[in-house]
Amino acid sequence: MIQSRMIGDARVTRVLEYAAPTHDPAFLFPDLDPALLAAAADWMAPNHYIPSMNRLIVTIQLWVVHAGGNIVVVDTGVGNDKTRGMARMNKLNGLVLPWLEAAGAAPEKVTHVVHTHLHCDHTGWNTRLVDGRWEPTFPNARYLMPKREFDYYTDALTQAPDPIIDGSWADSVMPVVEAGLVDFIDNQIEVAGCLSVEPTPGHTHGHVAYRLRSGGEEALFCGDVMHSPIQIAHPEVNSGYCSLPDVARRTRRRVLEDAATNGTLIMPVHFGAPHCGHVRRQGDGFRFEPSDWPA
C-alpha cells in the first residue's frame, strides 16, 4: 500500500511493510499506567489500540521523499529474508519493492537512503538477498547514517550482542558500509537539498530526525522519538527500548513543543492509521490530531 501527499513542492509517499495489533502495552511501555491507557481508549481505538485484545497497533513503514531531482528513502523497515529473533520480523516475504517502484522509487532510481537510527526495523531494506549474498538494495544511492549511532554500536556490539540490533549489523548495515555506499553524518547538516538533520537522542544514543521544509510547509521524520500517540498525550512515557530514558523524555517534549508551535506534520515510523498528524496544545500538555491522506 502507498499513500502520497505534498509538503510544499515535495512529494512524500508512505510505503507500508506491515501493521498489526502486536504489542502488549506493558511490554512496549513498561512505565505506562494502565489507567492512562484505559482513559485514552476512546481516541486511541481502533487505529492505535484494540481494547478487547489489549494490544497496541504497531506499523512498520518507509517514507519516500521526491524533491527536486532527488529520491530519498527515510528508514528501511525490516526487509525480506532476514533471520530475526522476533517472529513478526523473521523471514518476511513482503512486497515493499514493487510498492516502492509504484511510488516512483524503484531501487536503482533512489539517490539517498537516510536513517534516524540503526535498529533492525529501520535498516532491513538496505540490502536484499541475491544468490545467497546480501547486496545493496539501492545501488546508486548514498546511505546516510548518524556517526554517533554507528560508532556507539560498533563499540557496543564488540562487548555483547544486542537483541534490538539482532542480526541486522551483519546483513543490513555492514554490507552497505563495505560496498562504500555509506556517508556518516553529523548533526545540523542538509541532506539531498531538502532535509535538515536534527539531533534527537534518547531512544538511542545517536538518534536523529529529518526536517523537510518546502513552500512554507514542514514535516518531521521523527523515527522512534515516539512509538504511539499515547506518548503525545503523555510524553513522560518511554518505550522499553529507550536507551537513555531521561534524555528520551526531554527530547520527546522538545519535539512536541516545537511541532505544536510550528504546525509541523510529524511522520513517525510506527503509528497506526493515518500514520501521521499534528501536535496540538491541550491545557498544559498536548494532543494528537491525525492528518488524513488526500484521496
Q: What is the pLDDT of residues 196-252, one digit of tens each?
A: 999 999 999 999 999 999 999 999 999 999 999 999 999 999 999 999 999 999 999
Quote the CA–CA distance of 145 and 292 in Å, as a whole number.
30
Interval 278-288 mean pLDDT? 97
Residues with Cβ < 8 Å from 255, sequence gap 6 or more? 200, 209, 220, 222, 225, 226, 266
What is the per-residue pLDDT for 295?
81
The kind and range of the H/E element at 182 are: strand 182-185
**pLDDT given for residue 257 in this prediction:** 98
Which run of H or E residues covers position 39? Answer: helix 34-44
The reported pLDDT for the residue numbered 11 is 98
User: Confidence class of residue 32 from pLDDT cuts 50, 70 and 90?
Assistant: very high
Among candidate residues 65, 62, 73, the one with its CA nearest the CA of residue 121? 62
Mean pLDDT of the chain: 97
Angstrom distance (rounded) from CA 126 to CA 117:
13
On the question of pLDDT at 188 being above 80, the answer is no
Q: How far apart are the two ends of the chain, measured CA to CA in Å?
A: 14
Burial of 190 (0-12, 13-18, 19+ CB in 10 A): exposed
Asked whether residue 186 carries a pLDDT value surpassing 90, the answer given is no
